[in-house]
A and B are shown apart, each in its own frame.
Chain A
Amino acid sequence: MWHGKGKTAIVGIGYSELVRQSTRPLGLLALDACREAIADAGLSPQQIDGLATYPEAPFLGAGTRDGVDIVSVAWIINHLALASDVRWYAQIETGMIAAPVIEGAHALMAGACDYVLIWRALHQPRNYGAFSGARAAGDAQFLAPWGCVGVIQSHAMAWRRYMHDYGATREHLGTFVVNSRRNANLNPRAFFYTKPMTRDDYFAARMIAEPFCLFDCDVPVEGCVALVMTRAERARDLRRPPAYIAGHGQNTVSRRSLLFYTLDDYVANGQSLANKLWSSAGLGPADMDAAQLYDGFSPSTLYWLEAAGFCKRGEAYAFVQDGRIALEGEIPVNTFGGSLSEGRLHGMGHIAEAVFQVTGRAERRQVPDAAAVCAIDGSPMMRGSGIVVTRDP
């Protein structure tokens, strides 16, 4: 078990507005979220002496303008009046936003800093995800000339294979998507807060990359979510109940180079993260009161249910039927609506909701007596990270 279990905690959360296109540059949305997280923790910006982020804009053709396309550590230091001498920072290149949270815990335990601010800022330009390169180099030379280059196509093809191998249908997946929307309708921050979705709505949605329709893809939003972390002793004196970090795991498996991910990849890679997550926390899927599992595309959550051991391989499509994963069900999943319905916050919404659940702040989505919740970021095939947060250290 991790010697750091329960020694650090998330003590504040802040959200900017989540919209399709903001009239304000991303940097200002980040300042909104960061200031709110710091105030939520009962701190002032001058007390923040540690910073971390995962800045990458996760789509083809993304720009790199600081304060517009991304928000770097340097940008926050320059625009938010933090501690006059920031002592620690980390700008993580891979592993999703849970990776800086893990690094922040290590830094706090090492005494490198006292209060860590972490944010995930997402920009949405008008047109994105388009491959317009006239020349396709590297692995793309074996994909782009055939028009097969997007992440969505890779995921759609993996799910098609899953359907074939296990007998899953669009109906099964639709149950999960509709459940996520139902939860989002109880989440005032969600993009689709005021928009219910029926099964008919799901099947009427336009196809994007068959068998994926529009609602199988996370809803792109512009915005920022931030959190503050500190050591457990300090956490107890602050404004909100702490969400203790009980364990962490990252996908570190090496995989052979294929043109795209296979279902074998999602199991092996997902287990690389999940095995470490559970052993570090000394907990398992049966101990979770809720699970926030990444849903960049709808099947990703099903793959996580299998890879993380909530059900057996090939069974997730049946597992999510009959209300088992609903708010009042046996294991509530993505209680905030997920990236699918809250907004594509690239895993930060999953961490925030895990914190809200174990600190009794989940409002109408509150799972009664929630004491342990996991938040796993990233599709199982790819480099990702996860944490378990608990009500008690």
Chain B
Amino acid sequence: MAAAMKSEKPVPVADQLSQPLWDAAKERRLVVQRCAECGYYNHPPRPACDRCSSQRLEFAPVSGRGTIYTFTVMHQPSVAGFEGEVPYINIVVELEEQAMLFMVSNLPHAELDQIRIGGRVEVWFEERGPGLVLAQFRPV
């Protein structure tokens, strides 16, 4: 058996499309790719707009407010770095700027009873390591 090692949580690999989003997070700003042609927000960021196929895309700030669309509680230690946190909560946040504009977040397990679909949340930023800042959401 392999020695029990505390594994690191997966580290996001920023690419050409997503770099601005991760840079903004380091500055505690939440941005989402937005089509300059039709105004549609695309997340994850895409090479062409999901709605109109335009390639005129930029990153726009969003308020950081949204509602809980759905959630689950994971009991399997399948993801490296989360073994010690099982059971842990994932929520899907629908940002207020656009229907079905989703991001995922964690919530402390102690708050499971307070989770309501439709409940309001706002963004905060978790500093997970040097140069790595992730957007998370918490109930308001």
Contact = CB atoms under 8 A, between A and B. Distances in A.
Interface of A: 60, 129-150, 152-153, 156-158, 160-161, 164, 206-211, 256-260, 262, 264
A142 B92 contact: no
Contacts of B90: 146-148, 153, 157
B44 interface: yes
B124 interface: no
B44 A139 contact: yes
Contacts, number: 138
B81 to A, nearest CB: 8
A164 B85 CA distance: 26
Given A150-B76, A260-B92, 20 more contacts: A129-B76, A129-B78, A130-B79, A134-B11, A136-B12, A136-B13, A137-B15, A141-B18, A142-B104, A144-B12, A145-B9, A148-B104, A150-B78, A157-B72, A207-B73, A207-B87, A209-B76, A256-B50, A258-B100, A259-B43
Given A147-B90, A257-B50, A259-B103, A135 B73 contact: no
B117 A142 contact: no
A14 B128 CA distance: 52
A132 B80 CA distance: 5
Interface residues of B, number: 44
B10 A130 contact: no
Given A131-B80, A134-B11, A136-B12, A145 B72 contact: no
Given A146-B106, A147-B82, A147-B106, A131 B10 contact: yes
28 contacts: A60-B78, A129-B76, A130-B78, A132-B7, A134-B11, A135-B10, A136-B12, A139-B44, A141-B44, A142-B18, A144-B9, A146-B136, A147-B74, A147-B82, A147-B88, A148-B79, A148-B104, A149-B10, A149-B78, A150-B74, A150-B79, A153-B72, A153-B74, A157-B72, A160-B71, A161-B117, A208-B76, A209-B75
Interface string B104-140: 1110000000000100000000001000001010000
Contacts of A147: 9, 74, 79, 81-82, 85, 88, 90, 106
A141 B15 CA distance: 10
Contacts of A260: 92, 102
Contacts of A129: 76, 78
B12 A210 contact: no
A147 B72 CA distance: 11
A156 B89 CA distance: 12
Scoring B15, B42, B80, B117 by chain A CB atoms within 10 A of each residue's CB, the highest score goes to B80
B71 A157 contact: yes
A137 B14 CA distance: 7
Contacts of A141: 12-15, 18, 44
A262 B128 CA distance: 29
Contacts of A208: 75-76
Contacts of B134: 145-146
A149 B10 CA distance: 10
Nearest to A147: B82
Chain A: interface secondary structure?
mixed
A164 B116 CA distance: 10
Contacts of A149: 10, 78-79
A256 B33 CA distance: 14
Nearest to B50: A256
Contact of B128 (A145, A158, A264): A145
B56 interface: no
A210 B75 contact: yes
Given A161-B69, A209-B72, A145 B117 contact: no
Contacts of A209: 72-76
Nearest to B134: A145
Contact of A137 (B13, B92, B103): B13
Given A134-B8, A137-B13, A147-B88, A256 B51 contact: yes
Contacts of B74: 147-148, 150, 153, 209-210
Contacts of B12: 135-136, 141-142, 144-145
A150 B74 CA distance: 10
Contact of A257 (B44, B80, B81): B44
Contact of A135 (B11, B100, B128): B11
